[in-house]
Chains A and B, each alone.
Chain A
Amino acid sequence: MEIDVKKIMKLAKLKFNENEELQIKKHFQKMLKLVEKLKSIDVTGVDPLYYPHDRTYLRRRKDKQGKGLERYEVLENAPDTFTDYIKAPSPLKGIKKK
């Protein structure tokens, strides 16, 4: 099976140089060959197991206001800030006009 590695790179927001891309391709081939054997297992009527425990124990917390993080603390972790905001490059720049 031919995998479009470039497309997956785009989806994963990762970039590789030519050599790395080749390595990734090889890795994919190995892994896909490995998981190929799963195709021989009869899974008709088997429900997928997303979490180890089937019964949903998920509880909701009470909708009560609690103490959150301080704004200044959160901002201290940000690579770039401007006044009370986290700064990032413009999301609009570089988008081609239709």
Chain B
Amino acid sequence: MELSSLSIGELHEKLLRREIRVKDIVEDSLKSIEKKEDQINAFIEVFRDEALERARELDIILEEKKNLPLLFGIPIAIKDNINVKGHSTTCASRILLGYKSLYHATVVERLLNEGAVIIGKTNMDEFAMGATGEYSYFGPTRNPHNPEFSPGGSSSGSAAAVAAFEAVASLGSDTGGSIRLPAAYCGVVGLKPTYGRVSRYGLVAFASSLDQIGPIAKSVEDTARLFVTIAGYDPMDSTSMNLEVPTIEELLSSEDVKFTLGIPDVLDEANIEESVGKKFDEVLRFFEREGLKLKRISLPHIKYSVEVYHLIVTSEASSNLARYDGVRYGFREDADTLENMYIKTRSQGFGPEVKRRIMLGTFALSHGYYDAYYLRALKVRRLIKNDFLEAFKDVDLVILPVAPSPPPRIGETTDPVSLYFLDIFTSPANLTGFPAISLPSGRMEFNLPTGFQLIAPSFREDLLFKIASFYEKGHGFGLH
């Protein structure tokens, strides 16, 4: 049995009974990586020596411990757009080759304070722009349940590493669904916290009003452990909120789940593939059987989410990615003049999807078009949020599939615009800032997992965790 297939709680029991040491967990994780990486390609860098050294240190502390910090001795993989001091942060882009992180992201600092072992940096779509994990300078990540298929993106490696038992848990980032989509496609749990709940300090900016770091894990409890560790105010991120973070006990008590779930009417017109729809219906029936109320709600503007999202995300990205000019760090293509150096560096350093988005964003922000595109998108964004606020007067949570279709085959999709529609159900939570959790709902054809998500009002992650653990107990995910 692979130790990485166990939950954090189970590993801690074994550690406290002295049946295993941290070294065993870390070695097991490294062994798993060695065995599977040729096929899965979930990692850009593995911190082999550093992780073993950390395990040695933790094993010394373990001897005196009767209680363990939340993540003590747990191998955790970090998406490669989050800074870990002393290591490269590539964002899976050529343009950041040679860049070395000079500081830890706040989330990394917090994981280490809870005793975590950082096992490595994971593969992703370049600058988190993508839904399949295929837009990486380091090649695509493959779905551990069936390597011919995509694991979902953009946190492709973070979800695949957990599903393949290469790491016990991981961190991803979610700008339009980048945690929830790969979590669903890999059959694991993924949480996008409320905007402002988790510090973005040390996360490479893609779209600053949408980005949020969150955990990916095999169980709801593991996800909660990571969430309470990384959440909370950080003076280094002025958009992080100074609000109390619930305790793990508060999050996991599933006694009182007499919730009303809102089913958006958009599902009637949405183009959902039959296999996904069937699994989603099974989830609805489960909740109904368990005595939860299901109520149809109207979210009239949610159908514009993909369009609104793409105007906002490309605008913010074109501005954020202006910093990659070959001067201070990363890749540089030499040229005779400064202007030519900028152009050559950026043209050769960025991949095609990143360039497409920079171009569209530059256009949407340019003189004469700003009002018609960017500003209008921001106004519709408010209408989308208002729809949800209205719905939350009647229901506690909104339930939706994560994606309208199963994972695509790797190399199959040639039209980038068609991939944008994989975000149709996930991007609303980013546009509105609401927290959302993606949970596995079973397997489809080709052994491919699918999932559903629940969306809660701002800073009500407690509702998400309560219903998620209720579902987990009643349904069982069966990953290990």
Name the residue on A nearest B354 (C-beta).
Answer: A14
A-B contact count (CB 8 A): 177
- Whether B98 contacts A35 by the Cβ 8 Å rule is no
Determine the chain B residues whose CB is within 8 A of the CB of A88 once the complex forms: 326-327, 338, 341
Determine the chain A residues whose CB is within 8 A of the CB of B329 once the complex forms: 77-79
Q: Which of B358, B366, B417 interacts with A34 by CB under 8 Å?
A: B417
Asked if A13 is at the interface (CB within 8 A of a chain B CB), the reply is yes
14 further contact pairs, Cβ within 8 A, besides A3-B363, A8-B363, A59-B235: A12-B318, A14-B347, A14-B358, A15-B347, A16-B355, A27-B416, A31-B360, A43-B383, A51-B195, A57-B196, A79-B98, A89-B334, A93-B336, A95-B337
Q: Which of B325, B359, B372 interacts with A24 by CB under 8 Å?
A: B359
- Whether B379 contacts A52 by the Cβ 8 Å rule is no
Q: Which of A9, A73, A78 interacts with B359 by CB under 8 Å?
A: A9
Asked if B463 is at the interface (CB within 8 A of a chain A CB), the reply is no
Name the residue on B nearest A75 (C-beta).
Answer: B328
Q: Which of A12, A48, A76, A91 interacts with B338 by CB under 8 Å?
A: A91
Asked if B310 is at the interface (CB within 8 A of a chain A CB), the reply is yes
Total residues of chain B contacting the partner, CB 8 A: 72
Determine the chain B residues whose CB is within 8 A of the CB of A77 once the complex forms: 98-100, 102, 328-330
Of the listed residues B98, B209, B334, B347, the one surrounded by the most CB atoms of chain A closer than 10 A to its CB is B347
Determine the chain B residues whose CB is within 8 A of the CB of A58 once the complex forms: 238-239
Are A38 and B102 CB-contacts (below 8 A) given A14-B359, A27-B417, A53-B195?
no
- Whether B340 contacts A38 by the Cβ 8 Å rule is no
Interface stretch, picked from B23-31, B56-64, B300-308, is B300-308
Asked if B16 is at the interface (CB within 8 A of a chain A CB), the reply is no
Q: Mark B254-297, 1 if CB is under 8 A from A, else 0.
A: 00000000000000000000000000000000000000000000
Name the residue on A nearest B347 (C-beta).
Answer: A15
- Whether A24 contacts B356 by the Cβ 8 Å rule is yes
Are A89 and B347 CB-contacts (below 8 A) given A30-B417, A31-B360, A37-B307?
no
Determine the chain B residues whose CB is within 8 A of the CB of A31 once the complex forms: 310, 360, 417
Are A57 and B416 CB-contacts (below 8 A) given A3-B363, A15-B347, A48-B378?
no
Determine the chain A residues whose CB is within 8 A of the CB of B308 once the complex forms: 38
Q: List 16 A-B contacts (CB under 8 A).
A: A9-B359, A16-B347, A20-B352, A28-B363, A34-B417, A38-B307, A38-B311, A41-B301, A43-B379, A48-B378, A49-B379, A49-B431, A50-B378, A86-B327, A89-B341, A94-B339
- State how many angstroms separate the Cβ of B232 from the closest Cβ of chain A: 14
Are A11 and B362 CB-contacts (below 8 A) given A41-B383, A78-B328?
yes
Once the chains are docked, how many angstroms separate the CA of A59 from the CA of B196?
12
- Whether A41 contacts B380 by the Cβ 8 Å rule is yes
- Whether B433 contacts A13 by the Cβ 8 Å rule is no
- State how many angstroms separate the Cβ of A14 from the closest Cβ of chain B: 5
Once the chains are docked, how many angstroms separate the CA of A60 from the CA of B238?
7
Name the residue on A nearest B236 (C-beta).
Answer: A61
- State how many angstroms separate the Cβ of A27 from the closest Cβ of chain B: 6
- State how many angstroms separate the Cβ of A42 from the closest Cβ of chain B: 9
- Whether A51 contacts B209 by the Cβ 8 Å rule is yes
Asked if A65 is at the interface (CB within 8 A of a chain B CB), the reply is no
- State how many angstroms separate the Cβ of A92 from the closest Cβ of chain B: 8
